[in-house]
Structure 1
Amino acid sequence: MSTESNKAIVRRFYEEVFNQRNVDLIDELVSPEFNNNDPTPVASRDPESMKQFIHTITMAFPDHHHQIEDLIAEGDRVVMRCTLTATHKGRFPGFLEMPPTGNSICQRQIHILRVQNHQIVEHWVVRDDMAMMQQLGVLPTGISV
């Protein structure tokens, strides 16, 4: 597979699955052997749990949107730098058990995805969760690492 086709798969995944909530597309774009290296307890571990994750994040953040800033590919890996924007309107079981704040978030993220046979088979992510928690009022602002 070419790096351009790998980038197209990742773009479709975020634009159509996450941003447009087309969970049926997960069966096409995500391998049954999918391995998610996201340490978050609620992170999806296979295509079926990914469908539930999209539903859960949409209940907590109905307007969530990943704005893709960069897609860089080499071999079977695609790196995506993006900005997640959303408004906290519901509970996020396993992660944000607090009542909805109504606050908006703007979170920087970097994802690395491995693509094989036209499907995403592995995922790693780095997110600015501290900034998100500050924006939601869970942590005081002015704290940095």
Structure 2
Amino acid sequence: MNSTPGIVSSDPRSIAVRSIQIMADGEPADFEELVHPDAVNREDQVEPPAARVGGPKGFQATALWLREAFAGLHYDIHHVVAEGDLVALNCTMSGRHVAPFVTYTPDGGVGTAFPPTGRTFAATQSHWLRIQDGKVIEHWANRDDLGQAEQLGWVPPTPVYLFRMARAKSKAKRG
């Protein structure tokens, strides 16, 4: 992979790695450079409505959603495997929970709101990316959401945390 920020080789592995890294540190131009205008994120079902659009804007909205809740968001890439236009990455996402993390329902309403715990986490993930025309055209993932929830104190929830969740959800619904 090219080590110069903002410059990505045409190698599918490099494109895939950088497309994950920009979730933590990318600017709008990075998303335009790396994400195909017709790109689909197969993981957007619980994300904010702004993240449910295709292309660079949707992927950037996902990044902003994650960055808002998790300070110091970072991805350590452990393995990258490519076959043709498909690239699989094994990584660890880490950060500190500093703001409410809100999930959404299929119709775009507020699903669950996890108020900040201040705790750090490091959760394993596998990302699958299809590359077309030198850009990400499709993304889906497998994540250790339960491990992340346990590290952040979301499960098992204490009665006090359940109350805080209800307040956070009510606040998120008000906008």
Question: TM-score, normalised on structure 1?
Answer: 0.85
Correspondence for 1:12 among 2, 6, 18: 18
Q: How many residues align?
A: 137
Task: Determine the C-alpha separation between the residues in 2 that align with 1:42 and 1:69.
Answer: 26
Task: Determine the C-alpha separation between the residues in 2 that align with 1:125 and 1:34.
Answer: 15
- Structure 2 segments unaligned to the other structure (5+ residues): 1-9, 105-111, 158-175
Report deviation, 1:62: 1.8
Correspondence for 2:27 among 19, 22, 27: 22
Correspondence for 1:59 among 65, 68, 84: 68
| 8 Å contact from structure 1 (residues 23, 54) kept in 2 | no
Rg (Cα) greater in structure: 2
Correspondence list, 1:85-124, <5 A? 85-94=94-103, 97-124=113-140
CA displacement 1:41-91 (0-9 Å, x = unmatched):
107342212222211211110201010001100010000000011100011
- Displacement over 3 Å in runs of 4+: none
| Corresponding residue SS for 2:65 | helix
| 8 Å contact from structure 2 (residues 95, 121) kept in 1 | yes
Question: TM-score, normalised on structure 2?
Answer: 0.72
| Corresponding residue SS for 2:71 | coil
CA displacement 1:5-60 (0-9 Å, x = unmatched):
00011122223x12323232111111111111116410734221222221121111
Residue identity over aligned pairs, in percent, reads 30
Task: Determine the C-alpha separation between the residues in 2 that align with 1:84 and 1:11.
Answer: 13
Task: Write the letter of the residue equivalent to 2:62.
Answer: F
| 8 Å contact from structure 2 (residues 127, 142) kept in 1 | yes
